[in-house]
Chains A and B, each alone.
Chain A
């Protein structure tokens, strides 16, 4: 990378079904905490990128009243109408350009505000699919789940097992919203059937929340306590869901290849210590194992069964509970980056995994993980 850029601080709200705070107050909390932890004040020079969405917020230019709580008044501020991992990417670019040394990245939305599954339907082709009312994020995900499971002999128990692992992991995360200690595959499979093969507990329910992260280069990064360095980054954009194969996550695979090349990683399964993966639906985590090169194509189910990705395994995935534990549209991928950074820094308290030096975090936007971002992070 042209400059060494580090994550130097972060903050998250608790994630909740219906937060007892407006989104502005949630953003104020995380922005102030993250800036303070970075030793910054509003009068200091930094750029701001937020991730939020007009459809979710019910107003155009959904970032317009976030300027005040984001500490962005009269600063260089703009929005990524995507997952928050994209906001992190744009902030990184501003620093790499040399114009800025510090960026404040924020992701937020409130599921208690919007009509749960309606905004997602707006992603589908308005001249055909959207009008026919068959595709939504969940039915599309089920089509992908079936395509993947059928192609590679993945069982419902394996998909359910991922959800159970993440629900159990979330029980150790005090910020998580959706948690169940001791969850098992049978319970997940027995939950309400929505779009077969996906049951309700295989879906990461949307909730309210915000998170923020400060990244920096130069003096601030050098002087920071326990900086987490951004070693590699990649992103890719795949076709509309009906125009590509659904049995593989090719945008994630391409994004990972680019990020690994930048980070000097040639054998991810041995060089990566931990991953935080943005899985909106449980099968996506199995597909991500393959796309991230943790196992071979079609081996996601067997790789999961081996226990490697459990929190006591060799390559724990979603120790935080992942999106299953807390799914704030526009913040979920950014939260993955923050959780991965927490593990490297040793800030993860009751869910801390020992000896995490290199971690991978992913974010996704669009139906069936159409667009993917990968961050590779490393400690000192």
Chain B
């Protein structure tokens, strides 16, 4: 930088590195996704405190122990919280307006002690609302087989 030239006036270089990572989803999430392929919601259960994790966790943080047990959960659950999203984060990291607002809900599946963050269909939501899971085994990406929720009634 020459004398008297301010940083704002010098070129700004983009960082041309876009590293891709290949995570293993792990045995427990693999089992969870296998369950969704068959339309089942599979959760892990802690042998110590009986806490039920959905999505499944391999380790119970409270008992410092491995969750070896599996339980199949019913399709029903309760909205613990939600937000009406008017935007999403675009590829440039800024908010982009959605064509239609959508509801993102935190749902506690009946029988589970943790929540799933997912889209809620139907346009309206309230805390305490009863919902049913929507599973799409044909989803383009396996991470979206748990497609979302819809009102139970």
Q: Which chain A positions have C-beta within 8 A of B119?
A: 134
| Residues of A132-162 whose CB lies within 8 A of B | 132-136, 138-139, 142-147, 150
Docked-complex contact A135 and B117, CB < 8 angstroms: yes
Q: A21 contacts the other chain (Cβ, under 8 Å)?
A: yes
Please count how many residues in chain A sit with their CB below 8 Å of the partner chain's CB atoms.
43
Give complex CA distance A344, B17 in Å: 46
| Residues of B41-70 whose CB lies within 8 A of A | 53, 55, 57, 61
Give complex CA distance A25, B6 in Å: 12
- Point out the residue from B17, B86, B93, B143 that lies within 8 Å of A195, measured CB to CB: B86
Docked-complex contact A139 and B104, CB < 8 angstroms: yes
Docked-complex contact B89 and A136, CB < 8 angstroms: yes
Q: A243 contacts the other chain (Cβ, under 8 Å)?
A: yes
Docked-complex contact A194 and B87, CB < 8 angstroms: yes
Contact string, B115-129, partner A, CB cutoff 8 A, digits 1/0?
Answer: 111110000000100
Docked-complex contact A127 and B26, CB < 8 angstroms: yes
Q: B141 contacts the other chain (Cβ, under 8 Å)?
A: yes
Docked-complex contact A246 and B93, CB < 8 angstroms: no
Q: How distant is A350 from chain B, measured CB to nearest CB, in Å?
A: 28
Contact string, B79-111, partner A, CB cutoff 8 A, digits 1/0?
Answer: 011111111110011110000010010100000
Docked-complex contact A197 and B26, CB < 8 angstroms: no
Q: Which chain A positions have C-beta within 8 A of B20?
A: none
Candidate in A116, A134, A147, A196 with the most chain B CB atoms within 10 angstroms: A134
Interface residues on B, range: 35 or more
Given A21-B7, A115-B93, A118-B89: A146 touches B25 (CB 8 Å cut-off): no
Docked-complex contact A134 and B86, CB < 8 angstroms: no
Docked-complex contact A147 and B141, CB < 8 angstroms: no
Give complex CA distance A243, B113 in Å: 7
Q: How distant is A10 from chain B, measured CB to nearest CB, in Å?
A: 24
- Point out the residue from B53, B83, B93 that lies within 8 Å of A146, measured CB to CB: B83
Given A132-B144, A143-B106, A242-B106: A20 touches B86 (CB 8 Å cut-off): no
| Residues of A7-26 whose CB lies within 8 A of B | 18-22, 25
Q: A73 contacts the other chain (Cβ, under 8 Å)?
A: no
Give complex CA distance A142, B86 in Å: 12
Docked-complex contact A196 and B55, CB < 8 angstroms: no
Q: How distant is A230 from chain B, measured CB to nearest CB, in Å?
A: 30
Q: Which residue of B lies closest to A116 (CB)?
A: B93
Q: B3 contacts the other chain (Cβ, under 8 Å)?
A: no
Q: Which chain B positions have C-beta within 8 A of A146?
A: 81-83, 127
Give complex CA distance A146, B105 in Å: 10
Q: Which chain B positions have C-beta within 8 A of A131?
A: 141, 143-144
Docked-complex contact B81 and A150, CB < 8 angstroms: yes
Contact string, B126-153, partner A, CB cutoff 8 A, digits 1/0?
Answer: 0100000000000001011000000000
Q: Which residues of B contact A (CB under 8 A)?
A: 6-8, 15, 17, 21, 23, 25-26, 29, 53, 55, 57, 61, 80-89, 92-95, 101, 104, 106, 113-119, 127, 141, 143-144
Known contacts A118-B89, A146-B83; can you find 8 more A-B pairs with CB under 8 A? A125-B55, A134-B118, A136-B89, A138-B95, A143-B81, A195-B83, A242-B117, A246-B81
Q: Which residues of A contact B (CB under 8 A)?
A: 18-22, 25, 58, 114-118, 121, 125-129, 131-136, 138-139, 142-147, 150, 193-198, 239, 242-243, 246
